[in-house]
Structure 1
Amino acid sequence: MKYLSIAFVLLLGYLPLRAQDTTRVQTTAPADTSINAPSNADDLLAELADSSADAQELLPKKILFTQRAFWGPKGLLRVTNLAPLTPEGREKELKIRRTMLVSHQVLGFATVAGFVVQGILGSRLYNAKGRDYIRIKEQHATTATIINYTYGATALLSLTAPPKLPTSSTRRGFSSIQLHKYLAVAHLAGMVATNILARRVDENANLKPYHRAAAFTTFASFAAAIVIIKF
Structure 2
Amino acid sequence: MKYLCFAFFMYLSAGALQAQDSTAVRRDTTISPSTTDATDLLAGLGDSTEAKPDLLPHKMIFTQRAFWGPKGLLRSMNIAPLTPEGRAHELKVRRTMLIAHQIGGFVTLAGFIAQGIIGAKLYNAKGQDYVDTKKWHERSAAFINVTYGTTLLLSLTAPPPVVGARKGFTTIKLHKYLAIVHLTGMVATNVLAHMIDENPSLKPYHRAAAYTTFGAYAASILAITF
TM normalised by structure 1 equals: 0.74
Structure with more relative contact order (C-alpha pairs < 8 Å, separation 6 or more): 2
1:86-142: CA deviations, max 9, x gaps?
000001101100100000000100000000000011010000000100000000000
Q: Is the 8 A contact 1:67 1:159 kept in 2?
A: yes
* Greater radius of gyration (CA): 1
**Which blocks of at least 5 consecutive residues in structure 2 are unaligned?**
1-47
The Cα offsets for residues 41-86 of structure 1, whole Å up to 9 and x where unpaired, read as xxxxxxxxx9xx74x7111111111111111111111111110000
Pick one of 181, 186, 192 that aligns with 1:191: 186
- The Cα of 1:185 is off from its aligned counterpart by 0.7
Alignment identity in percent?
64
Deviation per CA, 1:191-221, whole angstroms, max 9, x where unpaired?
0000000001111111001100111111111
**Which residue does the alignment assign to 2:114?**
117
Contact 1:71 1:78 in 2 (8 A): yes
Cα pair 1:58 1:166 within 8 Å, conserved: no
Are 2:138 and 1:141 equivalent residues in the alignment?
yes
The residue type equivalent to 2:140 in the other structure is T
Cα distance in 2 for residues equivalent to 1:83 and 1:74: 11
1:209 partnered with 2:212: no
2:224 to 211, 226, 229: 229
Count residues in correspondence. Answer: 177
Richer in helix (by share): 1
User: What secondary structure is seen at the aligned counterpart in 1 of 2:116?
Assistant: helix
**Could you tell me how far apart the structure 2 residues matched to 1:70 and 1:227 are?**
30
Which residue does the alignment assign to 1:153? 150
Opposite residue 91 of structure 2, the aligned amino acid is L
Whether the 8 Å contact between 1:186 and 1:218 is mirrored in structure 2 is: yes
Structure 1: which 4+ aligned runs deviate by more than 3 Å?
none
Q: How does 1:52-91 map to 2 (within 5 A)?
A: 54=52, 57-91=54-88
1: CA distance, partners of 2:125 / 2:116: 14
Output the CA distance in 2 between the equivalents of 1:171 and 1:143.
38
1:40-59 equivalent positions in 2, closer than 5 A: 54=52, 57-59=54-56
Query: What is the match of residue 181 of structure 1?
Result: 176
TM-score by length of 2: 0.75
Question: C-alpha separation between the residues in 1 aligned to 2:146 and 2:133?
Answer: 20
Kindly provide the amino acid, as one letter, of the partner of residue 95 in structure 2: R
Tell me, yes or no, if the aligned pair for 1:183 and 1:225 is still in contact at 8 Å: yes
Counterpart for residue 6 of structure 1: none
Structure 1 counterpart of 2:138, which letter? Answer: A
2:190 and 2:122 map into 1 onto residues whose CA distance is 16
